[in-house]
Amino acid sequence: MKISVVRDILEANERIAQQNRELFDRNNLLVLNLMSSPGAGKTSLLERTIDALKNHISMGIIEGDIQSSRDAERIAQKGVPTVQINTGGACHLDGNMIRDTFEEFDFKALDLLVVENVGNLVCPAEFKVGEDFKVMILSVTEGDDKPAKYPLMFHESKVLLINKIDLLPYVDCSVGKIENESRKINPDQEIFRISCKTGEGLEEWYEWVKKRLKNKRIKSQ
């Protein structure tokens, strides 16, 4: 019985997420759903990405948290439109929550909307919000056994960013093992090794975003 309830919720969410996606497409807006465990570096990646791209493109950010607006405050300092969603206990964002932010944005003026999901390697993978792509971050401090243990997240994520590689000398973690195990689950996944602290590897991530922006504009013409 519990499973059927969850399925009803998932089906209802799929319909709303599809409606969101259609609105985003009509506005030629690339939407990324950014997911990770707590503290893997989602907000740090956003800060870096805004700094690198904001002179070239127009970005908006949705910040999802159980409560508090600390991440939104960090991001708003970068001068981009930022909307906070407090889920009030829910462990993931869903299509309805994203729809509730629409009147806060001028989507016609934006090129890229990034949704920073609640820090959780499980539930966010199940709930579409209307995104073009799911992007996940794994920190090397979490260990190299995570693809096998949280396969849905790795399966659903078009991009895997392996973060905090500056800490590799101090932790027991094989990045090669993460890559191999994740590609077993998701052979087409793009994987980048990065450090949001030192900036290493981030250029390739920015190039991936720029390429997707270009594809989105062409697709929507």
DSSP secondary structure, 90-138, as one string:
-SS--HHHHHTTGGG--GGG-SEEEEE--S-SSGGGG---S-SEEEEEE
Residue 72 CB, shortest distance to its own copies, in Å, is 11
Question: Looking at beta carbons only, is 68 or 220 nearer to its own copies?
Answer: 68
Question: Looking at beta carbons only, is 151 or 201 nearer to its own copies?
Answer: 151
Among 98, 142, 178, 209, binds its own copies (CB under 8 A): 142
Question: Looking at beta carbons only, is 77 or 220 nearer to its own copies?
Answer: 77
Residue 91 CB, shortest distance to its own copies, in Å, is 4
Give residues with Cβ within 8 angstroms of 194, minimum separation 6: 45, 161, 162, 163, 165, 200, 201, 202, 205
Question: Looking at beta carbons only, is 89 or 176 nearer to its own copies?
Answer: 89
Task: Classify burial at 198, counting beta carbons within 10 Å of its beta carbon; exposed 0-12, middle 13-18, buried 19 or more.
Answer: exposed
Task: Tell me if 150 contacts its own copies by CB under 8 A.
Answer: yes
CB 59 within 8 A of CB 114: yes
Phi-psi region of 110 (alpha: psi -120 to 50; beta: other; left: phi over 0): beta
Among 23, 76, 107, 126, binds its own copies (CB under 8 A): 126
Question: Looking at beta carbons only, is 88 or 187 nearer to its own copies?
Answer: 88
Question: Looking at beta carbons only, is 114 or 153 nearer to its own copies?
Answer: 153
First to last CA, the chain: 45
Binding track, positions 4-43, relative to its own copies; x by CB under 8 A: -x---x---------------------------xxxx---
Whole-number Cα distances in Å, 99 to 23, 95, 108, 121, 179: 10, 6, 16, 23, 34
Q: Which residues bind its own copies (CB under 8 A)?
A: 2, 5, 9, 37-40, 65-68, 70-71, 89, 91, 118-123, 126, 139, 141-143, 145-146, 148-152, 164, 166-167, 170-171
